[in-house]
Amino acid sequence: MTFTTSTTEPVAADPVAVAPRPAAASGLERLVAIMAALRTPVTGCPWDLEQDFSTIAPYTIEEAYEVADAIERGDMVDLCDELGDLQLQVVYHAQLAEEAGAFAIEDVLAAITAKMVRRHPHVFGDVAARTAGMAKGAWEAVKAAEKADKAARRGGAEQPGAVPATSALSGVTAALPGLTRAVKLQDRAGAVGFDWNDPRAVIAKIREELAEVEATLDESAAQAAREEEIGDLLFVVANLARHLSVDAEKALRGANAKFIRRFLFIERSLAAHGGTPAQSTLEEMDLLWTEAKRAEKTPVGG
């Protein structure tokens, strides 16, 4: 294949005076060719031939999380592998789109290249733009213009349930994990002044929402009401994390890892005496949980 510039957004001259990286280009070409072969009727892979955008999308999200996990663990070997898996997802979707006559991998590359150049006029612009540097709010201004262009291409029509392009909350995709999306929505609202200025006020709100959850414990409460109140509580907890500059998703992943670590301690401890969690009481397991906590807090050699 030959890489070309986008036909939908021509560029008069490439402002990035960087020589191409042949190894990277040939590697991508080979991956694209492999993906095309997997999707070739009769001779391709039966599983790959059955897939479409909707069936592949969950794998795309999963691979992005695995990239984040490798970064968090500081595992560069694993990160290299996971980035390859994520790159495959891009190539996979582009192959599906090319088969549908929508766009090809060249268009994907051209679009992101043009976007990065457009959003960095202080780096790739003319002399005046580079001299001026990155004006405050320039990135947001460029993104706002891009949103307006998208809305114009759609004829101004909004998808059912979508946030209008004119809203301060626009652009926060619904596909994000719940906690991440909550924080981004809160950031957008906070940018226009709809926010608390003290984390203690958020904590007070958490207590209020917790009391509302407690009120749904009555047997007469509808399950939908419980779900709504739990959602409100989680939303405010995410807001507290934001106010304290804590990554809510990262914090929750850490809590998950801690739970796994301590529960495995319980299982190992019980197994050493021929027991299992199912054969033990909650009180017995709780004592082991406390022991696991104490062991984690005890310095090595202490």
Reduced 3-state DSSP string for 18-35: CCCCHHHHHHHHHHHHHH
**Reported pTM:** 0.62
CB neighbours of residue 68 within 10 Å: 15
pLDDT in tens, 222-238: 999 999 999 999 999 99
CB neighbours of residue 296 within 10 Å: 11
Task: Identify the CATH number of the domain defined by range 22-118.
Answer: 1.10.287.1080
Q: What is the pLDDT of residue 156?
A: 56
Structural Rg of the chain based on CA atoms: 26
Q: What is the pLDDT of residue 134?
A: 60
pLDDT in tens, 39-59: 999 999 999 999 999 999 989
**Quick one: residue 301, left, alpha or beta (phi over 0 = left, psi -120 to 50 = alpha)?**
left
Q: What is the pLDDT of residue 131?
A: 63
Name the residue ranges covered by the structural domains of the chain.
Answer: 22-118, 196-246, 249-297
Q: What is the pLDDT of residue 15?
A: 59
Q: Report the C-alpha gap between 282 and 62 in whole angstroms.
A: 34
Q: What is the pLDDT of residue 7?
A: 42
Q: Rounded to an integer, what is the distance from CA 165 to the centroid of its chain? A: 21
Which stretches of the chain drop beneath a pLDDT of 70? 1-21, 126-140, 147-148, 151-161, 298-302
121 token code pair? 């006029």
Residue 115's identity, in one-letter code, is K
pLDDT in tens, 94-135: 999 999 999 999 999 999 999 888 888 877 776 666 666 565
59 token code pair? 């794998």
